[in-house]
């Protein structure tokens, strides 16, 4: 192949020696020496148990770890026949351990995996995080199986999570993706995905590797790009996801900027795809659902409500630039509520999120300022959710989220109109 490559020469030589592969599993890493050994065990065991007749390659795409992560991958024992209860010795899994090139981030790590998959002409691929503590061999079957055996192109993960966990996903990402793209993908930024070799090639063809996609926006980019390209999408239930804390020092507002910024950028790029979509439909689901015992999550609602009150008061001049009068008045009315009874109406939150998407599109404010100013409102919504869902079981949680998504879908036509008119307008119920 003569085209430009991001792979190092030794990797190219190794790929030439391997020749081809049916399956490629990528593990992006950066200083994950403590946990990556377990992930490698689970992956190789899963490949041996569920895909014993397929040629498989495990790729560790590393961001320059200084704690010996690649060494751990190289030294990790492959899943033993005893551990996975098979009598036949598992087929050898090739390991490619390489430092990725490009901007530091998960996206650049994935790009290396995509290119290796394309060069080996893999039929199915999976990527799993290197800090997972709850990964089992079954995850491989669930992420790769639908691609190999059912002809799907993209498999999203579905995890059991505590009702107070994943609040950015639950209150912003899932409802917006569902309302705009019309597909009910419960965890669009789950982090562990399965995809076809064809889709890997499609990803590789995009010129996004010098943008935020390469740094932190790869998860939502993969999901929305698959939806935009009308690839066959499904989701697989993987059980609980337990992993190391991402970055305890990372501030919430930075996280919000990264997630909402990546999502809004995709929404803006895919306007033609979502503009005329009405309602939403479920995507096929694989895996056997079961109850999972989840650790309780302590939440300081008082701190959140205080942050909301201060934000609504102090950010009033900023909000005046892109929130309509009705929304601002309702937000102001919520300030000063007793913590235990604090409640942000569903529709008010939906109007707020849609206004932010619109303001991002209209460049009403410096993007970083705009997205950071969402922090107090998001904390208000989260506090409201914690109060509301205090006694909810898993089923009630999903019903409440369905209701929220329904409101997003109901207000979508107003968002489309405002988007096309290019101006902020009042929302009607």
Partner 1 sequence: MVVVVVGSIWDPLTRFLERGQTLLPVLLAVAVVLAVGLLLAWLVDALLRALLRLVGFDRIAQRPGVSDSLRRSGLRQRPSVLVGHMFRWLIVIATLLAGLSIVSAEATNVVLTAMVTYTPRLAAGLLLLVVGYAVSVFVGRSVLIWSVNAQVHGARWLAGGVRLLVGVFFAALALENLGFGRDIALVVLAILLGGGVLAAALAYGLAGKDLARQSLERMTREARGEEGETLSHL
| The one among 252, 277, 292, 416 contacting partner 1 by CB under 8 A | 252
Which of 81, 299 has the CB closer to partner 1? Answer: 299
Site for partner 1 contains 297 (CB under 8 A): yes
Q: Which of 206, 369, 423, 425 binds partner 1 (CB under 8 A)?
A: 369
- The answer to the question of residue 310 lying near partner 1 (CB under 8 A) is yes
Contact between 154 and partner 1 per CB under 8 A: no
Q: 88-127: which residues touch partner 1 (CB under 8 A)?
A: none
- Which residue among 71, 271, 314, 325 contacts partner 1 (CB under 8 A)? 314
Determine, following the binding rule CB under 8 A, whether residue 211 of this chain makes contact with partner 1. Answer: no
Distances (CA, A) of 88 to 34, 52, 94: 30, 9, 18
Alpha-carbon distance of 169 to 176, in angstroms, equals 10
Please report the beta strands in 256-396, taking only residues with DSSP state E, as ranges in sequence order: 281-282, 285-286
Q: In a 3-state reduction of DSSP, which class is residue 61?
A: strand
Residue ranges in 256-285 that form contacts with partner 1 under rule CB under 8 A: 256, 259
How many of the other CB atoms lie within 10 Å of CB of 66?
8
Torsion of CA 292, 298, 301, 302, to 10 degrees: 170
Q: What whole-number distance in Å separates Cα of residue 29 and Cα of residue 128?
A: 10
Q: Return the residue of 77, 150, 300, 421 that touches partner 1, per CB under 8 A.
A: 300
Q: Toward partner 1, which CB reaches closer, 59 or 238? A: 238
Residue 204, burial from CB neighbour count under 10 angstroms (0-12, 13-18, 19+): middle
Among 289, 303, 333, 423, which residue sits at the site for partner 1 (rule: CB under 8 A)? 303
Of the pair 246, 289, the CB lying nearest partner 1 is at 246
Q: Rule CB under 8 A: is residue 164 a binding residue for partner 1?
A: yes
Q: Which of 173, 180, 356 is nearest to 263 (CA)?
A: 173
- Strand order of the sheet with strand 233-240? 94-99, 56-62, 23-29, 124-127, 193-196, 154-160, 233-240, 285-286
Sequence-distant (6+) residues with CB within 8 A of 107 are 208, 209, 213, 214, 215, 216, 217, 218, 221
Cα-based angle 152, 153, 158 (whole degrees, multiple of 5): 75
Q: Does 318 bind partner 1 (CB under 8 A)?
A: yes
Say how far apart CA 293 and CA 283 lie, in whole Å: 26
Q: Does 249 bind partner 1 (CB under 8 A)?
A: yes
CB 40 within 8 A of CB 58: yes
- Give the nearer residue to partner 1 in terms of CB position, either 34 or 94: 34
Residues that bind partner 1 (rule: CB under 8 A) add up to a total of 40
Check residue 414 for interaction with partner 1 (CB under 8 A).
no
Q: Are strands 281-282 and 183-184 parallel, antiparallel or unpaired?
A: parallel
Per-residue binding letters, 320-359, with partner 1 (x by CB under 8 A): -x--------------------------------------
User: Does the protein bind partner 1 through residue 188 (CB under 8 A)?
Assistant: no
Q: Could you say whether residue 255 binds partner 1 (CB under 8 A)?
A: yes
- 293 touches partner 1 by CB under 8 A: no
Between 31 and 80, CB nearer to partner 1 = 31
Any contact of residue 361 with partner 1 (CB under 8 A)? no
Q: Interacting stretch for partner 1, rule CB under 8 A, among 136-144, 146-154, 254-262, 348-356?
A: 254-262
The helix (H) or strand (E) run that includes residue 124 is: strand 124-127
CA distance 24 to 30: 20
Interacting residue ranges for partner 1, rule: CB under 8 A: 164-169, 189, 245-246, 248-249, 251-253, 255-256, 259, 297-300, 303, 306-307, 310-311, 314-315, 318, 321, 363-366, 369, 372-373, 375-376, 382
């Amino acid at each position: 192949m003569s085209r430009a490559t991001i792979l190092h020469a030794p990797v190219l030589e190794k790929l030439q020696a391997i020749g081809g592969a049916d399956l490629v599993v990528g593990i992006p890493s950066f200083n994950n020496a403590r946990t990556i050994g377990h992930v490698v065990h689970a992956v190789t065991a899963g490949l041996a148990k569920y895909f014993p007749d397929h040629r498989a390659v495990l790729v560790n795409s590393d961001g320059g770890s200084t704690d010996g992560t690649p060494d751990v991958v190289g030294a990790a024992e492959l899943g033993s026949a005893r551990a996975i209860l098979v009598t036949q010795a598992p087929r050898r899994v090739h390991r490619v351990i390489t430092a990725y090139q490009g901007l530091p981030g998960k996206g650049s790590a994935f790009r290396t995996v995509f290119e290796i998959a394309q060069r080996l002409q893999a039929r199915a691929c999976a990527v799993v995080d290197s800090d997972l503590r709850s990964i089992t061999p079954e995850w491989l079957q669930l992420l790769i199986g639908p691609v190999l055996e059912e002809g799907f192109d993209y498999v999203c993960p579905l995890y059991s999570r505590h009702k107070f966990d994943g609040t950015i996903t639950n209150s912003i990402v899932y409802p917006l993706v569902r309302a705009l793209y019309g597909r009910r993908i419960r965890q669009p930024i789950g982090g562990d995905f399965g995809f076809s070799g064809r889709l890997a090639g499609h990803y590789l063809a995009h010129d996004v590797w010098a943008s935020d996609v390469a740094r932190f926006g790869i998860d939502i980019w993969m999901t929305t790009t698959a939806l935009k390209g009308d690839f066959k999408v499904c989701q697989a239930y993987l059980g609980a996801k337990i992993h190391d804390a991402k970055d305890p020092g990372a501030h919430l507002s930075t996280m919000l900027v990264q997630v909402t910024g990546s999502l809004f950028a995709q929404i803006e790029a895919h306007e033609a795809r979502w503009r005329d979509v009405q309602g939403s439909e479920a995507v096929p689901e694989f895996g056997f659902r079961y109850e999972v015992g989840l650790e309780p999550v302590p939440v300081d609602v008082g701190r959140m409500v205080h942050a909301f009150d201060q934000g609504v008061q102090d950010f009033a001049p900023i909000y005046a630039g892109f929130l309509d009068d009705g929304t601002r008045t309702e937000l102001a009315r919520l300030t000063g509520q007793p913590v235990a009874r604090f409640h942000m109406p569903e529709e008010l939150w939906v109007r707020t999120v849609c206004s932010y998407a619109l303001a991002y599109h209209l460049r009403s404010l410096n993007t970083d300022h705009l997205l950071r100013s969402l922090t107090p409102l998001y904390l208000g919504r989260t506090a409201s959710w914690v109060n509301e869902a205090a006694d909810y079981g898993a089923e009630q949680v999903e019903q409440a989220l369905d209701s929220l998504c329904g409101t997003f879908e109901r207000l979508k036509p107003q968002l489309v109109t405002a988007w096309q008119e290019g101006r902020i307008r009042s929302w009607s119920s």
